[in-house]
Amino acid sequence: MKDVLDRQELAVDMNPVISKMFNTEHEQVVFCQDKASGLKAIIAIHNTTLGPALGGTRMWNYNNEVEALNDVLRLSRGMTFKASISGLNLGGGKAVIIGDTYTQKSEALFRRFGKFVESLSGKYITAEDVGISPKDMEWVNMETKHVSGLPKTLGGSGDPSPVTAYGVYMGMKATAKKQFGSDSLGCKKVVVQGVGHVGETLVKHLSNEGALVTIADINQERVARIAKEFGTQVVEGDAIYDVDMDIYAPCALGATLNDNTIERLKCSVVAGAANNQLQDEIVHGRRLMEKGILYAPDFLINAGGLINVYREVVGISEARAMELTENIYQTTGDIFTKSDASGVTPQEAAMVIAQNRIEAIAKIKSVL
């Protein structure tokens, strides 16, 4: 093991990584390594104009470091937009731990990661994300207080997923109002892709309102249980994109709106919880618009979980967090109005509003 890289390694391996960061607008990217515990992590702070950068930590077995870097840069940027459009005084950040969640988790690894978070002195606040359990975060919390979304038993705000689902439901209703003239989802054919923490609660809201729900998930056990409980239809695999539906709700993976799927989709509305649903936010946002499909920007309507965690940071009540989440209905409607007025897609309109807020607050801060 060596302490410096030789000339060839620098030229071949590091160039794309370093230039990737400098090609984005990120404020800081921290590479974290601890050989003893096997920790390899990247913390990306995109923008802290509005407040500390808050975003979860994801643990994933990435194929290589560049893939991990790409993910963390993309996700942290998304958090900046999400906080801004929701009117929160938070910046955007995210962390990824590179590793196998089945074999590489340990107390030492998470406590060492906690020390790295602590070293940023509150500029980055972490939380759970894909691949991380409440137990893992409890270990992180032993080394840093800059952890949010802990279980209620540990003094945190608990699982954010039900609040996320409620916000998605509000955003979906606002989108239905614009597209169908009424926000009632009764008898609307809604396909929910992914019935995990968020998707299951969304199915509950939809079923309570009398929507005709179809679900899809790669976890057959979950599908069977939820289909039975709520009396939903089931669709398998790729066939989801060919189902005749009014509303498509992606609640599993990102990038499901792409060249292949958009041409197949038979729906009028897309509104779901997954992050980064548009494979290319400009190209695919415009393609949906051309096809007459109204798209509810993901970072706007899935912000309920972030709003719920925010109450730990600023000390607002649970009731106020729910009010802010309910407000997603109004904001979604406003975005469609702006999109119509300016001829840009709802995604672009939402991004402009989020960016404008950051720029306006930056100006105020510079004179304070």
Quick check: 194 binds ligand NAD (CB under 6 A)? yes
Sign of torsion, CA 269 270 273 275? negative
Number of residues that bind ligand NAD (CB under 6 A): 23
- Residue 368 structure tokens: 């304070």
Binding segment (CB under 6 A) for ligand NAD, from list 86-94, 137-145, 171-179, 248-256: 248-256
Q: Which of 20, 74, 197, 320 binds ligand NAD (CB under 6 A)?
A: 197
β-sheet bridge partners, residue 191: 214, 248
For the stretch 295-322, what's the b/e string if a residue is b when 16 or more beta carbons lie within 10 angstroms of its beta carbon?
bbbbbbbbbbbbbbbbbbbeeeeeeebb
Could you give phi then psi for residue 365, rounded to 5 degrees? -65, -35
CB of 246 closer than 8 Å to CB of 167 = no
Q: Which is nearer to ligand NAD, 161 or 345 (CB)?
A: 161
- Stretch 129-188 residues interacting with ligand NAD (CB under 6 A): 160-161, 164
Cα distance from N-terminal residue to C-terminal residue, the chain: 49
Quick check: 252 binds ligand NAD (CB under 6 A)? yes
C-alpha distances (whole Å) from 143 to each of 42, 48, 55, 191 are: 17, 23, 18, 42
The arrangement of strands across the sheet holding 212-216 comes to 233-234, 212-216, 189-193, 247-250, 269-270, 294-295
Site string for ligand NAD, 202-241 (x = CB under 6 A): --------------xxxx--x-------------------
Q: Which is nearer to ligand NAD, 273 or 313 (CB)?
A: 273
Per the listing, tokens 């649970």 go with: 318
Look up 20 and say whether it is catalytic: no
Residue whose CB is nearest to ligand NAD in the complex, by number? 196
Query: Of residues 20, 40, 82, 94, which has the active-site annotation?
Result: 94
Q: How many CA atoms lie within 13 A of 84 on its CB side?
A: 27
Q: Which is nearer to ligand NAD, 98 or 198 (CB)?
A: 198
Quick check: 59 binds ligand NAD (CB under 6 A)? no
Q: Which of 53, 265, 274, 328 binds ligand NAD (CB under 6 A)?
A: 274
User: In the complex, what is the shortest distance from the CB of residue 37 to ligand NAD, in angstroms, rounded to a whole number?
Assistant: 25
Would you name the residues annotated as active-site residues? 94
Interacting residue ranges for ligand NAD, rule: CB under 6 A: 160-161, 164, 193-199, 216-219, 222, 251-253, 273-275, 302, 305
